[in-house]
Structure 1
């Protein structure tokens, strides 16, 4: 659990997650104390607690309620529901097939949400709509469902899926965690439905996990939802960190050899070990470029030229072509979309 030491979460999120338990008559103050959380912090929504305490709270809460959605939906989602869905999904051929299975199987339970995968041109959306006349006690359930879909999909293909947008169907609350939960992806509120949007090319990625890997994944839930999500392998994570720390690594022709030296191994060994983790050096570097580009376009007023330079391109034309290949849009059109 050492990876959790530097991670924290706002008390407003903690409070939201407990609203269903409170309505079910659970003594949430006692639950907080059992997890080592001072109940008085509920009066300070901007306060933060270690993520490891929040994960412990989630486990206790779902266990007391026998509900994997913490009492937040119309009906309890009994313990084991996610496992049943995941076992069905992990046998899919590719991510598109997996997400269709995820939606179809989840919809059989006819609870507060209806799920749908929608793809057109270069964009795909995994959509969550509220069922009419069914209660959602707190919007934390929406955020959680979107986050689970994103994390699980990324795990299935062993590659972090870069989100082009996150849509929520309610106003953003104060002290929200969207930047953390969705890795800086642009979040649009008050939409007609909730969704995560990403490059439709991901739908063709093969599923590389199996039932054996799934048991380990589920044993660590919900911990894996709140850990920083990189390519799943340990070496992949190290490569991402080195590339983020090395000056000019996104544009340098010697980035591979520089990274290998930093790890104390040869370039051939690095390539071979990354292949065993289901990825390669070029993919990791491209993912970092794409994530940075979307982040800068969504959260800054930087010029296209400056963003091109910051993401490792020596001239804007190459950056514009790459961005359009990633998203189906030019950087300018993508930025204008976020203004509406």
Structure 2
């Protein structure tokens, strides 16, 4: 299934907390801590879906998926937002949204369904058990609709859906859906649909910009390529897991438990792939250190804290072992001066 930024999971977890739910026990079973998740790192889509499925079994409010849509911020979609805003009109924006739907937080498949007076943005959901299904569908439909409404607000528009279809039987809380969306909601449909008037689709965007549109489309293409990376080996999955943490890292035993392995099995399988846990952790720290030193103005002390070091001296010593330079010297070097491949720290880095 590939990967995508863990930011979508963070939005959902933060929303659950603000709505009175406690995701901590479920996260603990997956070896994760919300406060330590790094929003810029990827998560395997299949693993993220397992977390959603586990969370759905422990939710108390059946409409919470619907309410979670409000916690997905427009800025979290990155270049995709700018790509949509620089389209010529809403119809083109729908087409671009469908083309780059993997850059959203949906698991269902988006498509466009034209009609004579009304046309629909269709979400065909991923099959899942009933409780998980409703939780994910509600979140994806409400999140998609919020994105549409937020984009409209950026353009000075206020266009609502004429009707929304939901792909499960009418629940006792049906009235809450019409209140939430501000339009009629029809249940028991085969797929989810957001119906819009056709005249809305031809409204010209004031922010249309063909040159900028081309630039943002190229950026979206690059993101798609990055998301198609397959975490096919255990070492890939362990490294991706470690990369999600900031200000502290789990032990080998904790990582093994999150993958439902014994620590001995984890170490043995990594060894069979030519890796060990210590080197993978050092690689993650080195990659993150390079990014922070090159892309931010954080102090050396702050970078050390982000990497889980109690003292900056320990970080400086480790970084010198990895790159041959101090962090300050690395930061001041010309960008064309390649010190060391990010994915290949020296052998036998020190244990911290």
Same fold (TM > 0.5): no
Higher relative contact order (CA 8 A, sep 6+): 2
TM-score by length of 2: 0.37
